[in-house]
Amino acid sequence: MNIRNMVKGEEFPEELRTGFETGSMPEWIWVVERDGKIVGLLIAAPAHIVAILLRVVSTSEAHPNDMRALLIRVMHDIKERGFKGYITWLDPSREIENSLLSIVELAGGVKFPNQQVMVFGRA
């Protein structure tokens, strides 16, 4: 297993593509490789003192420990870059995201006590 940042212009497996990876900050995209093939990625963005975790996704070929190692590496790199923490959105009605919510809480993360609605627009 190998974890690294994206290389500008790099192609991802179809099931990992969303359009976020076409941005101008490859240093904010981490990939995990197994046997020389990308099996997972995490896309983040800097925002003042926190990093925003935008997308975490893996292929069916990823081992569960691949994503665990990816998250650990990203948290290390975020801290090394001088950020104080992270923020992300999870949908607790989805099994995998609810599992992540439990992991975040066990690691000392906090969820907002009120339901939030994420909105977005184009600049």
The full set of domains in the chain, from first to last, is 2-106 (3.40.630.30)
- At position 3, the amino acid (one-letter code) is I
**Residue that is written with structure tokens 């439990």 in the block:** 102
Q: Is a pLDDT exceeding 80 seen at residue 23?
A: no
54-93 pLDDT, tens per residue? 988 888 899 888 988 998 899 999 999 999 999 988 888 8
1 in helix, strand or coil? coil
Contacts of 67 (CB under 8 A, 6+ apart): 32, 40, 56, 58
